[in-house]
């Protein structure tokens, strides 16, 4: 067992660096090395004698130091008179603002301030403070609730909503978000009528302003356009003239030239690089100079004038100024 470096007694170590058996031996050894003299002094709090290890030590222990500090900081006790029972009581610390001597006096004072009145909602008598209007939380919620009762246009369920929201044509005619979405799908919330059959349905106001006509289905749209001729004949944006002038037939050698062009281009789109295997169908063959510009089909179908492209790329080529509707009619 190790021995203390100051008194020589054997002791059990509590850690690997311990050299002294007690704290007193450590302090005495330290003072001996520093050539300090140990003085016997009185503690400023408990007035007990103790050995002073340092020049600034005033208390015998940490407990005395804390108690002395609490005595210095603590505010003096105050004597007060209770507002209810008129008895004298003392307060100190945080409770120095107290005006009642006990909890019973405080409750008695609070009850004396209660006033008898009738509930603003259910009209039942009750006791409460002057500012209180309702007898319970349920009555308070019902009294200040300004919502109006409505029936859902989808499920018929009774629900409440605010008056300001009824004026809007938003989802406040439905009890929930699900019913509102159902109203848009089923058309029960009608704000538009079909120009073909006259049936009411829902359509976004922005789309109503954008479109000239409104239809409830694709069938009604087709029926209306076929009967009115709105996009037929000269009204069609793809109208070239009569069928006799429209050069839709590319000549007797067209299919052979078309096969040669695809074989020459290795069955690959010359714009985006997709192959026929990836595309899933045969590629289109494009006339670099439009077919309608030629008088002879052989000149129009020369391999130098043909190009293999996929249909999306073909549409891009014929967009804008290259659209067939932009060709001058005198060429036809």
Reported as a single tens digit per residue, the pLDDT across 5-45 is 888 888 888 888 888 898 888 888 887 777 666 678 888 88
Task: Choose the weakest-confidence range: 122-126, 183-187, 327-331.
Answer: 327-331
Percent of all residues in the chain with a pLDDT value above 90, rounded to a whole number: 13
pLDDT of amino acid 209:
84
175 and 218 fall within a common domain: no
271 and 323 fall within a common domain: yes
In a domain, 16, yes or no: no
Structure-block tokens of residue 161:
């909503």
261 and 324 fall within a common domain: yes
pLDDT band per the 50, 70, 90 thresholds, residue 307: very high
Domain count, the chain: 5
In a domain, 287, yes or no: yes
More confident residue, 183 or 80: 80
Question: Token match 């293999």: residue?
Answer: 308
160 and 204 fall within a common domain: no
Closest-CA residue to 298 (of 253, 243, 329): 253
pLDDT band per the 50, 70, 90 thresholds, residue 269: very high
In a domain, 299, yes or no: yes
Question: Could you list the residue range(s) of the whole structural domain that residue 227 is in?
Answer: 192-235
Number of neighbouring beta carbons within 10 Å of residue 275: 12
In a domain, 1, yes or no: no
Instruction: Decide: helix, strand or coil at residue 272.
Output: coil
Above 70 in pLDDT, residue 236? no
Q: Model pTM?
A: 0.30
In a domain, 178, yes or no: yes
181 and 196 fall within a common domain: no
108 and 119 fall within a common domain: no
140 and 159 fall within a common domain: no
CB neighbours of 11 closer than 8 A, spacing ≥ 6? 1, 2, 3, 4, 21
pLDDT tens column, 193-234: 899 898 887 787 788 888 888 888 888 888 888 788 777 766
**For residues 238 and 325, is the Cβ–Cβ distance under 8 A?**
yes
In a domain, 49, yes or no: no
In a domain, 326, yes or no: yes
Closest-CA residue to 95 (of 79, 84, 107): 79
Structure-block tokens of residue 23:
């704290």
In a domain, 33, yes or no: no
Report the DSSP pairing between strands 49-52 and 39-42: antiparallel
Instruction: Decide: helix, strand or coil at residue 263.
Output: helix
262 and 312 fall within a common domain: yes
Instruction: Read off the pLDDT of each residue in 110-127 and give the average, rounded to a whole number.
Output: 89
Residues 20 and 232: their CA atoms lie apart, in Å, by 112
Partners of residue 308 on adjacent β-strands:
285
226 and 268 fall within a common domain: no
């Amino acid at each position: 067992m190790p021995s203390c470096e100051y008194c020589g007694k054997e002791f059990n170590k509590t850690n690997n660096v311990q050299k002294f058996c007690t704290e007193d031996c450590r302090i005495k050894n330290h003072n001996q090395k520093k050539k300090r003299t140990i003085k016997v002094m009185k503690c400023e709090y408990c007035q007990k004698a103790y050995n002073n290890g340092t020049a600034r030590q005033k208390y015998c222990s940490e407990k005395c130091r804390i108690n002395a500090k609490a005595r210095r900081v603590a505010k003096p006790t105050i004597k007060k008179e209770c507002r209810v029972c008129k008895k004298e009581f003392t307060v100190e610390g945080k409770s120095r603002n107290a005006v009642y001597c006990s909890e019973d006096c405080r409750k008695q004072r609070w009850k004396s301030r209660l006033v008898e009145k009738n509930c603003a909602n259910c009209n039942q008598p009750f006791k409460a403070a002057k500012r209180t209007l309702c007898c319970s939380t349920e009555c308070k919620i019902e009294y200040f609730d300004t919502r109006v009762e409505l029936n859902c246009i989808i499920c018929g369920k009774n629900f409440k909503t605010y008056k300001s929201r009824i004026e809007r044509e938003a989802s406040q005619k439905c009890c929930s978000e699900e019913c509102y979405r159902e109203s848009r799908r089923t058309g029960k919330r009608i704000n538009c009528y079909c120009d073909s059959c006259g049936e009411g349905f829902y359509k976004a106001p922005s789309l109503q302003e954008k479109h000239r006509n409104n239809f409830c289905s694709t069938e009604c749209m087709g029926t209306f356009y076929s009967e009115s001729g709105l996009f037929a004949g000269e009204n069609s944006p793809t109208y070239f003239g009569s069928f006799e002038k429209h050069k839709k037939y590319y000549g007797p050698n067209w299919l052979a030239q078309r096969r040669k062009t695809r074989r020459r281009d290795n069955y690959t789109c010359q714009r985006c690089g997709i192959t026929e295997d990836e595309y899933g169908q045969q590629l289109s063959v494009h006339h670099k100079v439009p077919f309608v510009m030629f008088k002879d089909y052989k000149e129009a179908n020369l391999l130098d004038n043909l190009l293999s492209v996929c249909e999306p790329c073909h549409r891009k080529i014929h967009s804008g100024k290259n659209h067939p509707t932009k060709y001058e009619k005198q060429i036809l």
